[in-house]
Chains A and B, each alone.
Chain A
């Protein structure tokens, strides 16, 4: 995270680098969406102070609140994708962790214990993914597909098929605050999410963890030969992804203090993948950018907000996102990249050939 924008060449290259950076384009897209929303809804940018909650209020604030969960799963997904894997189970893990938290609260557990235990549940699910991928060498997408399926079932088992509501449970304020509270007027969950993203970023870039994750994603066997233990790294990233998904699950359920075993976290694996891709991390693994993914996550929340602001049926959201994924992947395809270079090259060669014959 730190390594990416610290070094800049002097002069014109800065502009060039800015233009070629995924980050820049994500920010531009974010601004464009905000402008569009403001045109449709003149109050979109308005911020007001809400005395009841002790924080700012306004469309942008709700957008940030929603983005917290995407920040979490996108961060975990970035690390997993960097190892050239994928974690399709993040949405289901969210549901499981949320279900666990709500069920614990209803059964009268202390709120802090409930939070801790539900995070642990997410961690364990992540560890199971990690163990299957690293020790048994199963393909990531099959492994996490199974977890996605089984996790949904597990969430239902935990709540016995109910959509457990812990809204009336006393003493659950800390959890509520986590999702709906404010720190210095800014949504608490967003602040927590950003802090966690920064911590993960520091961990990756200030230690050798980031390089080793990338190394495993680029060439697993070569990494093993340099003394890195790829199995450990793989286990670690899936475990982290599980834990972060559990936090996202808490954010998602605590805002309404209710888990929907079908809808909580549904389709969110797609959002996470999308955020990572927008952030400029290749789906083939290798170099990753947590800051890119973080902006990608906020952008996704913004896209959803835009859809709502424009009054488009929310049912259209998946289709809309699918189109965005397709467009981004198409733009990243080597074919498109080489196309312009190819045209130039062919032209040069042709003129050269002409010069020779003449």
Chain B
């Protein structure tokens, strides 16, 4: 009896330690986020203001959505490089349509439809023609960016009184008399939260989600287990690219304009968020909520570097190094896990 219970204890101890190993990167991301906040607060004193948090979320709602969008393919060991370009093409089309007097809801629907079409195209290329995900989405990225450039290379501004306002209008919860201490949010943030909830439910509460993890573990095993791998792959790129269109709506509404170059390099920001958030680039492990933390870490780099007086040119290098550190960390963690 006693021996049985001790082995049981051992087992649970072993289990929790294993889970820890998987979660190290995610925990590290949370720790880094807090450290950044503490450092920012200590040095500049503005990082715990409610206003800081409000703008962090409002300004980066789009990145949170993109991070969720990127999490799905990365979980299977794939990638969706087209997200930034999808933001560009949908933004340009959406704003152009609104400028032409078409009601915003219709423009938004068209934006979503464009996202869906590109997602479907990526799915077809990957599943029907055996293209590697990063090549297929690199192609759709160029296609989307190119078409956006054909449509317009000007900076397009949303007309006054457009119906994009409802997304970006700030809603104050706490109206603090002190400067920049209001707690507020907008529909963009709400949409981002909904997307996160959607991602969470999809991955953890549906069979499709479990299939996504199974593909990440071993695609051939998933196939031999009779899981609908092909259909799931289609869904992944479809949802991922459609979410990029959603991110585009949120972003465009926020800044009120669009250009064909918008979203350049955002695929990297999204990958950074996902990787920092603990999703392993070879697939199989990771969490949507981790990606959200990753997106916040990525978001806070901008104010930090500018407060430190670091030239903006350095930001990309910092982000690059950060992805690198986390990818290396993943390697180490998985290598240690294997040795055990």
- Direct contact, A vs B (beta carbon within 8 Å): yes
Contact B149–A153 (Cβ < 8 Å): no
A169 within 8 A of B: no
Contacts of A139 in B (CB 8 A): 281-282
Contact A319–B129 (Cβ < 8 Å): no
Which among B135-143, B162-170, B217-225, B286-294 touches the partner chain?
A: B135-143
B227 within 8 A of A: no
Q: Using CB atoms, name the residue of chain A closest to B319.
A: A149
Contact B135–A329 (Cβ < 8 Å): yes
A267 within 8 A of B: yes
Contact B129–A335 (Cβ < 8 Å): yes
Which among B23-31, B52-60, B308-316 touches the partner chain?
A: B308-316
A175 within 8 A of B: no
Contacts of A333 in B (CB 8 A): 128-131
The size class of the interface chain B forms with chain A is 35 or more
**Chain B min CB distance to A285 (Å):** 11
**Chain B min CB distance to A74 (Å):** 16
Contacts of A136 in B (CB 8 A): 328, 331
Interface size, chain A (Cβ < 8 Å): 45
B299-330 near A? 1/0 per residue, CB < 8 Å: 00000000000011111110111011001100
Bound together, the chains give a CA A329 to CA B129 distance in angstroms of 7
A301-319 near B? 1/0 per residue, CB < 8 Å: 0000000000001011111
Contact B323–A146 (Cβ < 8 Å): yes
**Chain B min CB distance to A247 (Å):** 24
B337 within 8 A of A: no
Contact B316–A326 (Cβ < 8 Å): no
Partner of A142, one of B139, B315, B327: B327
Contact B142–A329 (Cβ < 8 Å): no
Bound together, the chains give a CA A303 to CA B313 distance in angstroms of 33
Contacts of A322 in B (CB 8 A): 139-143, 146
**Chain A min CB distance to B314 (Å):** 6
A185 within 8 A of B: no
B268 within 8 A of A: yes
- Considering the complex, which residues of chain B in the window 139-166 have a beta carbon less than 8 Å from any beta carbon of chain A? 139-143, 145-147, 149-150, 153
Q: Using CB atoms, name the residue of chain A closest to B131.
A: A329
Q: In the A-B complex, list the 9 residue pairs whose CB atoms are closest, starting with the nearest.
A: A319-B146, A150-B320, A153-B316, A315-B149, A156-B313, A318-B146, A322-B142, A322-B143, A333-B129
Extra contacts besides A149-B320, A325-B139, A333-B131 (10): CB < 8 Å? A138-B327, A146-B323, A146-B327, A156-B316, A161-B313, A267-B142, A313-B149, A315-B150, A319-B150, A329-B139
Residues of B whose CB lies within 8 Å of any CB of A are: 79, 125, 128-132, 134-136, 138-143, 145-147, 149-150, 153, 260, 265, 268, 271, 275, 281-282, 311-317, 319-321, 323-324, 327-328, 331
